[in-house]
Amino acid sequence: MADAIAFIDLAAQQARIRGHIDAAIKKMLDHGQYIMGPEVAAFEGALGEFAGASDVVSCSSGTDAVMMPLMAWGIQAGDAVFCPSFTFAATAEVVALLGATPVFVDVEADSMNMDPAALERAIEELSRNSDLRPRAVIAVDLFGRAADYPAIRAICDQHGLKLLSDAAQGLGATIDGKHSLHWADVVATSFFPAKPLGCYGDGGAILTNDAVHAATLRSLRVHGKGRDKYDCVRIGLNGRLDTLQAAILIEKLKIFPDEIERRNVVAQRYAEALGNVVKAPKLPTDQISVWAQYTVQLPEADKRSAIQQAMKAQGVPTAVYYPLPLHRQKAYEEFPVSGGALPVSDGLSEVVMSLPMHPYLQEAEQDRVIEALKAAL
């Protein structure tokens, strides 16, 4: 059997920039400012430039990045936050952690992102049937594709809701050349190693164009500090990004635009080869995805594990994101499900399968993935 293909090849990326990473780490060891060293502010500045944000607050994880804006807005018990169920747990988890109520909204079958029409129904249904106060919407850029921000922004404006973009998978994705912050009040992202822009540990960032909000986030990041860390003006957390990770991210951000282009070349090849055999992702021409995952929808739900096994035997790894939507998970079964059921989320969880995707996937390797999938089907 030929060597197994990498699902995400972080080693190839590291080989490309290893000299710069080593030098950046050495510089950090020499100055010794492990917490909030100069690389943190330097990285925040560079990221803001990349994503069109006047303020960037780096933090310890994508999970904290989603939670901290909700804290800054005072989201609490009795508040409702609308979010998809077909997403990673962190999206809804932080809402529940603050004592508020995640209200699950269905997604669209094609984009796999929040369905604006379902959101609208969810908001109306809540105002009829519940004492919960609608406060915010969390839209997720699933698999690297931007949610339908123009439509969701309009709905949020109509109902006085805040809009948080969970771009843990979608940093760099654009609609009509604009990043999600063009529409969202705030954007949260993650630098978990396997995300499109990953560090070598945990990390995250919050992007906003609201300086007052950013100041609150900076306070929350260090135990709710006021004048200094021993002056506590609110309940916060220890949510800082390590200087070490910022130093690494500065180097990785430099090649990120090129990596996004490479991911799009890979995606284009997949779409051409697989468009007739599975439901391959199809983007409107005004959108650019960062392809955190290349996720196809299989024609038959019950053959998925057999297909995965057959591909694995050919050295081709696959993954399922997500096998169980959040509203079907034990930890979330008490929370409201808009309309009583989420048929699209349920259906997707049975047919989705993600293929190897990274900027360094060689054409010959990709051809093996394509052949293995066709043979397995």
Ligand X SMILES: *Cc1c(COP(=O)(O)O)cnc(C)c1O
Give the E-state strand segments of 85-132 in sequence order. 101-105
The CB-of-169 to ligand X minimum distance in angstroms stands at 5
The CB-of-65 to ligand X minimum distance in angstroms stands at 7
**Options 55, 166, 242, 259; binder of ligand X; rule CB under 6 A:** 166
The CB-of-40 to ligand X minimum distance in angstroms stands at 17
The half-sphere exposure of 141 on its side-chain side, counting CA atoms within 13 A, is 34
Question: Residues touching ligand X: how many (CB under 6 A)?
Answer: 16
Residues 181-210 that bind ligand X (CB under 6 A): 190, 192, 202, 204
Answer whether 83's CB lies under 8 Å from 103's CB.
Answer: yes
d(C-alpha 59, C-alpha 237), whole Å: 10
Q: Is 242 in the site for ligand X (CB under 6 A)?
A: no
The CB-of-230 to ligand X minimum distance in angstroms stands at 28
Q: Is 295 in the site for ligand X (CB under 6 A)?
A: no
Q: In 3D, which of 269, 317, 268, 277 has the Cα closest to residue 298? A: 277
Q: Is 111 in the site for ligand X (CB under 6 A)?
A: no
DSSP code, position 175: E
Contacts of residue 54, defined as CB under 8 A and 6 or more positions apart, other chains included, come to 48, 208, 209, 211
Q: Is 104 in the site for ligand X (CB under 6 A)?
A: no
**Options 118, 161, 168, 370; binder of ligand X; rule CB under 6 A:** 168
Give the E-state strand segments of the chain in sequence order. 55-59, 79-84, 101-105, 133-140, 162-166, 174-175, 186-190, 204-208, 287-288, 294-297, 352-355
Q: Which positions from 60 to 99 touch ligand X by CB under 6 A, shown as an x/- string?
A: -xxx--x--------------------xx-xx--------
Q: Would you tell me which residues interact with ligand X (CB under 6 A)?
A: 61-63, 66, 87-88, 90-91, 140, 166, 168-169, 190, 192, 202, 204
